[in-house]
Structure formats: structure tokens, C-alpha cells
Amino acid sequence: MAQYKFEGDFASFTDHQLEFISKVILEQDIKVKKAVFTVVGQPGDNFVGHVKRLNIEGENGNLNMFIKVAASSELARAATNADITFRNEHIMYTEILPKLVQLQKAAGVPEEDLLKHAKCYGSLYEPPNETLILEDLNDSGYKMLNKHETLSNKCVRGIIKNFALLHSLSHVFKNKYPEKYVQITDQMSEVWTTIFNEERFGGQAKFAEAEILSILDDDTYKDLIENKLSDFMYLLPKIIKQEGKKHLVIQQGDAWTNNFMFKIGDDSIETLMIDYQASNNGSPVVDLLFMMLNCTDHATRSKYYPEWMDYYHSEFDRSLSNFGLKASFIYPRDQLDVDLKRYAKAMMYLCITFNTILMRDPKEAAEIMDIMKNVAVDKIAAVLESQELATATRNRIRNKTMGIIDTYKQFGLL
């Protein structure tokens, strides 16, 4: 047990997790006087585990930490694939991210161009007590934006630059240390085909499709959804299986608004990725399409989509140039276009389904989380049918669905 008394909201933590947190705190040498856990965000901001802020007062100063722990119940762990997701993030924070930044520093990349990530104070991967302890980015002026509002062009460009850095440095890592790259990435797992498969998600997929069809008014949109929404469960594994290894990179993997933080100044916006639980060795376009469809609306995409893809590739090339590499050889622009179209349909249906959850208000999201974590998989669909959506939620889901389809029509992604 911890050597001093924790205060606040930590009932969901095990003794082993508290012991690990205490050990990490003691390593900071601030002579703790008080350590208080508080709730972070609203229900629905995090679907995988429990997230708390830890405010520490010490004789040698104060320190705030961001604590993420896995769910403990068997149902909740199964629903969130805790073993996989926390292993992915543990590997990213303890091995991959430090290695990528080390490569940049060794090449003399300026400080302002380094891949930025939250400082990791400690990571425990011992199922079922997985625990990740990060710096509290609020202290550095970063904040989370509203998941129900479209991100601005500047925010999107910040995310795209992060993707370009992560993906390009993956190639550098693979180029310099091929055996180490394979060794590390082979320990990571692709999350979405595990979560969304026929056995686990078949019933919910049919419910999600019926829910969306009941919200849509226009038959031209309904025709693209009816008897098709669950297709991504079959398309995505097939595409992944056929994917050649040459262009694979380390993905962020779960690019929705709450997995980024932004420091917004008068003339600039800094962006940080904060969640790597779905990270794995995969196609770069999964990050691009996932972010674009989940974080923006059709009006914004309609104006900036081609520019975003050009910007991604130019930043990808600029990062590679620090290591004497060229995008034209590593990942040509026309290959990016081919891959965007290859993944387009699967990602469209995945993101439409995903947004039936993301677009719920906090109360509805809390209900969904309780259902996911406390109801057996084969009974979830039946329980969901009893949930009544608020009018605002129905409107958000309708607008998201129609907007995604409109974007695909405009840019020939269907």
C-alpha cells in the first residue's frame, strides 16, 4: 500500500496500482505532503479505462500528474480489450516515442521540430493492474477541445504535422534498425478488427445501422447505409491482410478530438497526441481518414481536403530530408492517393458507426460506458435498444453521417 494517505477519487484503483503510483511519486523527490485524485473530463471522454488527475503538494514544490488505469472487471476488460490497448500504449511511451525523438536529436533536428509528446513518469504493464502516469499538459497551457465541434484548419494542420513526423520517423527507425523495428512492432496489436468483428459486434452493428436509418430522412443517404454499415468488419481485415509491408508505419490509430491537446496562441497552435492505445504497425492513411472524418465537418473538408493531403506529404518529405531520405522513394504522393481510396469505404463505415457513440451527450455516453463495461457482449444490442437518444444527439449523428457521405461524393472516395 502507499506510504502516505491518498485523498480524493481513487476507489477504482487497486492496491497494486496505488503502490506503483506512490513509487513513481517518491522518485520525483518533492517530499509529498498531500496527494489528491480528481476526476478528469466528462463521461464519454475516455472509453478504455479510468482517468484521473493527481495534484501533489510537496515541501520541494508541487506537481500534477495525469493517471490512466485499466478497468478491473472481466466484462469491462473484455469490452475495452485492456490487455491489448494498454500494451500498445506502454510500448509507445516507454520504447517508441523516446527512440524516435532520440533519432531526431542525433540528426540535429531543431528543438521546435521534434516530435512532441507528454512526459511519461512511469508505465506499469502487469495485467490487470496496467497504469500509465503522464505529465499534466494543462500545466503547459494545453487544453482539450469540444468533440462535438469541428476542428479548425489550423488545428487540423497541427495534427497532420504530428502524423507526418510520426510516420516519417517510423521509416527512419525501420531503415536504420530493421530488426529492432520488427521486434517492437510485432508486440503491438491492431485494435479495430479485434473490437469490431462479427462475434463481438454483429448485434450492435445491426442496431447501429437501424438507429442511423431511423435518423436519416433522405433515401439517397439511406441507400448507402442499409445492409452495408457493418461491411467494415469484413473490409478492414481483408485490406490489412493484403497490405504490403513497405509502406507500413507506426500509427496513432485512434484519431478523434479527445485524443489531441492544443495550445492555442494568438498566431499559432501547438498540437500533441495523447493517446496511443490503438497504435500499431499499419497504413498511414488510417490516421488521416480517421482524423478527418471524426474531427471535422463536411464544410471544412470540402474547403481544405486536397490541401491537407498535400501538406501531409510535404511535411513527411521535410522530416525525411533530415535523414537524407526522400518521400518520392519512401512513400510517393500517388501511393498516398491509392491508399486513401483503398481504405476509404472501410473507414467511412467504421467512422459512421464510431460516431453513433462519439456524438452522444455526457449522460448518454455514461450510459453507453456502463453498458459496455457491465453487460455481456451478446446482450449489449438488446440493452441499447432501450436507450432513448436526445434530439440534439440525433441531429449530431444525422449531420455527421450525411457530412461524411457528402465528402466522399465530392472527392470520389466512394
DSSP-derived secondary structure for 85-147 = HHHHHHHIIIIIHHHHHHHHHHTT--GGGSPPB--EEEEE--TT--EEEEE-GGGGT-BPPPT
pLDDT at 365: 74
Percent of the chain with pLDDT over 70: 92
**Measured between alpha carbons, how far is 67 from 73 in angstroms, rounded to an integer?**
18
Residue 253 domain-assigned (yes or no): yes
Alpha carbon separation from 33 to 3, 8, 9, 67, 146 (Å, rounded): 11, 14, 17, 19, 35
Residue 254 domain-assigned (yes or no): yes
Q: What's the CATH number where 334 sits?
A: 3.90.1200
Going by C-alpha positions, the residue among 130, 63, 59 that lies closest to residue 93 is 130
* Domain range for 328: 85-116+142-410
Residue 266 domain-assigned (yes or no): yes
pLDDT at 196: 83
**Measured between alpha carbons, how far is 124 from 16 in angstroms, rounded to an integer?**
10
pLDDT at 44: 53
Helices (H) and strands (E) in the chain, counts: 17, 10
Q: Name the grid cell of 100.
A: 524516435
How do the pLDDT tens digits run along the chain, 414 residues long? 345 689 998 888 999 999 999 999 999 989 899 999 998 866 555 555 689 999 999 998 999 999 999 988 787 788 788 999 999 999 999 999 999 999 999 999 999 999 999 999 999 999 999 999 999 999 999 999 999 999 999 999 999 999 999 999 999 999 999 999 999 999 999 999 888 877 777 777 888 898 899 999 999 999 999 999 888 889 999 999 888 889 999 999 999 999 999 999 888 899 999 999 999 999 999 999 999 999 999 999 999 999 999 999 999 999 999 999 999 999 999 999 999 999 999 999 999 998 988 898 878 777 776 666 666 655 655 656 657 788 999 999 999 999 999 999 999 998
pLDDT at 202: 77
Residue 28 domain-assigned (yes or no): no
Residue 53 domain-assigned (yes or no): no
Q: 29: number of CA atoms within 13 Å, CB side?
A: 0
What digits encode the pLDDT tens for the residues 247-302? 999 999 999 999 999 999 888 899 999 999 999 999 999 999 999 999 999 999 99
pLDDT at 390: 86
Going by C-alpha positions, the residue among 131, 60, 66 that lies closest to residue 94 is 131
C-alpha torsion angle, residues 73, 76, 78, 79 (rounded to 10): 170
Residue 176 domain-assigned (yes or no): yes
Which pTM value belongs to this model?
A: 0.93
Residue 363 domain-assigned (yes or no): yes
pLDDT at 79: 77
Q: Which residues contact 17 (CB under 8 A, 6 or more apart)?
A: 69, 124, 129, 131
Q: Which residues contact 411 (CB under 8 A, 6 or more apart)?
A: 305, 306
**Measured between alpha carbons, how far is 120 from 94 in angstroms, rounded to an integer?**
8
DSSP code string of 109-126: --GGGSPPB--EEEEE--
DSSP code string of 16-48: HHHHHHHHHHHTT---EEEEEEEE-S-TTS-SS
Going by C-alpha positions, the residue among 69, 44, 43 that lies closest to residue 54 is 69
Could you tell me where the beta strands, DSSP code E, fall in 238-393?
249-250, 260-264, 269-273, 281-282
Residue 38 domain-assigned (yes or no): no
Q: Into how many domains does the chain fold?
A: 1
